[in-house]
Amino acid sequence: MLSQEIQYFITGLSIGSVYALVALGFTIIHTVTGIVNFAQGEFVMLGGMVAYFLFRFIGLPLWAAAPLSIAAVTVVGLLLQRIAIRSARQASIVSLIVITIGASILIRGLVGQFWVWGREAVRLPYFTGEQSLSFLGAAVHPQKLLVLGITIALMVLFHLLLSRTPLGKALRACAINKRAAGMVGVDARAMSLFSFGAAAALGAVGGILIASQAVTSYDSGVMLGLKGFLAACMGGLSSQMGAVLGGLGLGLLESFGAGHISSAWKEAFSLSVFLLFLIVRARRLPASEVEH
Amino acid sequence: MGKRIGRIVSVTLMVVLVALVVTGCTKAQPTVTALKEPYKVGAVFAVTGFNSPLGTPEKQTVEMMVEQINAKGGVNGHKLEVIVYDTQSDTTECVTLVKKLIEQDNVLAIIGPSSSGESLALVDTVTKAQIPLVSAAASAKIVEPVNERYWVFKTPQSDVLAIGEIADYLNKTGVKKVALLTDSAGFGATGRDALVALLPNSGVTVVADEKFGTKDTDMTAQLTKIRGTDAQAIIVWGTNPGPALIAKNAKELGLTIPMINSHGIANKAFIELAGDAANGVIFPAGKLLVAEQLADSDPQKAVLVNYKRDFETKYGAGTANTFGGHAYDALMMVVEALKVVGPDKAKIRDYIENNVKNFAGTGGVFNMSPQDHNGLGKVAFVMIKIADGKWTWLR
């Protein structure tokens, strides 16, 4: 029975690392601009779909299709900031959030309408070998170890970037007070642009990994965006470490929930725990932080 | 005074506009080569959205058939016109489109939609409008209870027949205990209810009853739970991509018990999505998949081989599947009825109910009756095993 529990644990980490990757993207933009970018799920979807397009239709090898797709989605992120967010810069944060919701619907609609192979689900091959490894009687697929590893590496990278470098200081300064940051020579627009580009790139990485271990389709950004948002909320929306822990926690909840309670109720189960968590957390936090 | 003049002017303008629109419409209508009125049939399929692996071949089939029928002079000299709308796999959209077919396009009968959920949502609409619907979706509930489904027929084999075929297979291979892993919505949910109700009759016990969400990306947890039971086989019920992911996850987990699926995966998309993991998967399906291997005495052989050949000549080798076949059967029934009774909705319905007998279609030999609006017997299915990425008949 122990091997069973270990298997649930590993499965939870594997599901959760995908959510964590999506959540990381949320935190980057939120840390810098205060915006919750609801188009984050679409970045994830685009990453997988563009990589599939390059791999399957252009015939590029996976190692070339993946970075090209990340670059393409980064451009989409930058365009979103330049076109939609910057031109509405006088608007309140809430309006900007609504703009990101609109952008997500637009991106999803365009992909659904014009994607060359219709709206079917597609997949990429594994990045790693096909054979699972055995760990204390539980099966571990190397692809899933890879995803977990990449998630943690990106978390550390972005955490260090934001907390240890001059660029990171400038980025955080924009979030605290845009005008004051401008006075000391920080270009707030450039910082906002950077955050959207970085979040889009992160999302694309997640999307490619998901397309490779599961499937992707024009509308898969909805569910992943939602789960990533929940994970980011659990981590407080501005903390990279929190986002990853939130994502892994959500994955573990779903896995153990499906295993021990009921797979029919796993979604309801993880969402109720999430709500409870938010209620408890909101009570504990000082009011100023909750307002974000 | 000024007001009145204004009103007169606006009314005149409106009349002129309406007149223009009306004449415009008459002009825009295609000049029919035959002198007779065209027969209009409506069709709703999930051409896009998650059910597009079903809806796309259905639409292609209908387009191909319309071409063929009109090339041979139409239906009794009337041109056949099928208006196909895309439901985008969305139930609400589907209902709206069917209302449009009935109210604006004035069609004589409707074929489709592709999914059970959409079909069930249409029952009220077509019953109120008194127009025959021949669905291309599988759930038995679409035509049952039959006294509440006066205007509704369907061509795909019911879950019950597929489950009967699976039960026979389990008995033959000595499997007594199975685990279920079913989609929590639509096709998976009705299939799960039928499995739980019917398997015990064949001496098979259900030892695990697990679900998955249509959009889930990992089913390893459910499979882990099943691995912890003494199940000798696992039965998956759903349409892509879920079952493909389950096959992949099971392989990753090293699960070795046989995996049986429903007829919902009888298309190439499953093999493409599951890759190597598709090999070894067993499922019941219509005979179309093994048309060439059938005995010449099989009443369906001619229609299956012809349909497959025509479809693959037009759309490419290996593209024909049972879903397109369901649309073929549906349109054939409506066309047969039109030939005999002409453009009368009630008579078309009566004809399909009473006169579709020994009708060899792609899904089986249909014998419709007031008690059975599907009309298929058990022989409609064969068991198929995927080996080396290909369908092989388990005889």
A258:B244 CB<8 A: no
Residue B246: pLDDT over 80? yes
Residue B11: pLDDT over 60? no
Q: What is the pLDDT of residues A141-177, one digit of tens each?
A: 998 889 999 999 999 999 899 889 999 889 888 888 8
B217:A139 CB<8 A: no
- A119 CA to chain B: closest CA distance, Å? 5
Confidence of residue B34 (pLDDT cuts 50, 70, 90): very low
B220:A132 CB<8 A: no
Q: Interface pTM (ipTM) of the complex?
A: 0.85
B366 contacts: CB under 8 Å, gap ≥ 6: B155, B329, B333, B356, B357, B358, B359, B360, B374, B375, B376
Q: In whole angstroms, give the CA distance from residue B28 to residue A131.
A: 62
From chain B, the residues in CB contact with A222 under 8 A are: 215
B6 contacts chain A (CB < 8 A): no
Q: What is the pLDDT of residues B357-391, one digit of tens each?
A: 999 999 999 999 999 999 998 777 889 999 999 88
Confidence at residue B138, expressed as pLDDT on a 0 to 100 scale: 85
Residue B25: pLDDT over 70? no
Closest chain A CA to residue B49: A119
Confidence at residue B3, expressed as pLDDT on a 0 to 100 scale: 56
Residue B95: pLDDT over 80? yes
Q: Are B311 and B294 contacting, i.e. CB atoms less than 8 angstroms apart? A: no
B281 vs A133, more confident: B281
Residues of chain A predicted below pLDDT 70: 1, 115-119, 283-292
Q: What is the pLDDT of residues B37-54, one digit of tens each?
A: 899 999 999 998 778 888
From chain A, the residues in CB contact with B213 under 8 A are: 267
- Cα(first)–Cα(last) distance of chain B, in Å? 88
Confidence at residue B1, expressed as pLDDT on a 0 to 100 scale: 47
B52:A118 CB<8 A: yes
Angle at B299 between CA B298 and CA B301, to 5 degrees: 65
Facing B273 at nearest CB: one of A8, A119, A215: A215
A215:B222 CB<8 A: no
pTM for the whole structure: 0.79
Q: Looking at chain B from residue 169 to 188, which residues have their Cβ under 8 Å from any Cβ of chain A?
A: 184
Q: Mean pLDDT over all residues of chain B? A: 88
B222 contacts chain A (CB < 8 A): yes
Confidence of residue B32 (pLDDT cuts 50, 70, 90): very low
Confidence at residue B13, expressed as pLDDT on a 0 to 100 scale: 53
Confidence at residue B332, expressed as pLDDT on a 0 to 100 scale: 96
A121:B241 CB<8 A: yes
From chain B, the residues in CB contact with A270 under 8 A are: none
Closest chain B CA to residue A16: B218
B7 contacts chain A (CB < 8 A): no
A-to-B residue pairs, Cβ atoms closer than 8 angstroms: 104
From chain B, the residues in CB contact with A7 under 8 A are: 220, 224, 227, 253
Peptide bond into B38 cis (omega under 30): no
Confidence at residue A136, expressed as pLDDT on a 0 to 100 scale: 79
From chain B, the residues in CB contact with A256 under 8 A are: 221
Chain A interface mutation, best of B216, B227, B230, B240, highest count of A Cβ atoms under 10 Å: B216
- The pLDDT > 90 percentage for chain B reads 67
Confidence of residue B347 (pLDDT cuts 50, 70, 90): very high
B186 vs B73, more confident: B73
Highest mean pLDDT among A175-179, B68-72, B289-293: B68-72
B108 vs B21, more confident: B108
Q: Which of the residue ranges A155-169, B96-110, B334-348 would you say has the lowest mean pLDDT?
A: A155-169
From chain A, the residues in CB contact with B89 under 8 A are: 119
Q: Looking at chain B from residue 275 to 294, which residues have their Cβ under 8 Å from any Cβ of chain A?
A: 275-276
Tell me what the mean pLDDT of segment B260-275 comes to: 90
Confidence at residue B28, expressed as pLDDT on a 0 to 100 scale: 43
Confidence of residue B20 (pLDDT cuts 50, 70, 90): very low
Q: In whole angstroms, give the CA distance from residue A207 to residue A215.
A: 10
Q: Hey, what amino acid is at A67? A: P
- B142 CA to chain A: closest CA distance, Å? 24
